[in-house]
Structure 1
Amino acid sequence: MYQPSDEELKSIEAWFAEYDGLAAHGAIEKLADLAVFPMNLVTDVPGGYAAVRQWTREEYVEAMKEAMGGGTAGLGLESKRTPRFLSENLVVVETEATMTIEGQRQEMHYVDLLVRTEDGWAFQTMVQGGWGYGWPATKRG
């Protein structure tokens, strides 16, 4: 198992600090700049099946505008992130988040795959249950 250095762990924390700051202000295009496309999405659909898609940059921007609106600043978002380095260039980050919307707390649990590029870290795969409503279930080959 790859053991990241303190500097590598701090680089992931810094990446998420930048991401969170952009998300708070609804800077969707700049968030897209932090990704590698096509982006993989993995979720599930009613009935207990997985659903997998790839988004273009345009599809990501459209979906995030709908999901985030003007940003996350007023949502009382708290996140605990646990990075798990697969290698010096691949890290899976598990996030447990709590969001408060109009006094109601919602808990989210998701995973992102970050890849090291020439320009630094970028997210390439998002995994979270419950997004696939309206998507077809994934079938094997």
Structure 2
Amino acid sequence: MKVRLPQRGFSFVEVMVAVLLLAICAVPMMEALTQGLTVSASGVDKARELRCMKNTMETILAEPYQTLWTAASQDNAASYVLPDDASCAGIVRQLAISLCEQTGATTVFLTPGTAQNRREAAMLYIALTSDKGYSFTTMVAR
């Protein structure tokens, strides 16, 4: 004959302690998952803005030199219209085109009147900025 061992289950206190430990661990895990999803969405927005700024700068640099020179010498590029781009919806872009000349290690910005005499030596200083933090700057020589 076999001796029966008494079967023993978990007590109510043991179950409550286990549930409490699981709850203490689950709350930080859920917060971490939520933050991870938020950071991922903001990364997508930053990538879209960077792509917009890069495409805009490439479009500007593809313009004929004379078009950019005229825009810079007239009104510091206020007359230059930035191209419409569907990927740039909601991104405020600002463009400034200035005339400058390199003298040694210094860059000297020229006024439109003095730049006409130095058309061969002067360069275009092109700065494109966005309201969310990206800024592209380049100099273009003739």
- Structure showing greater radius of gyration is 2
TM-score range, shorter chain: under 0.3
* Structure with the higher strand share, 1 or 2: 1
TM-score (norm 1): 0.27
Greater relative contact order (CA < 8 Å, ≥ 6 in sequence)? 1
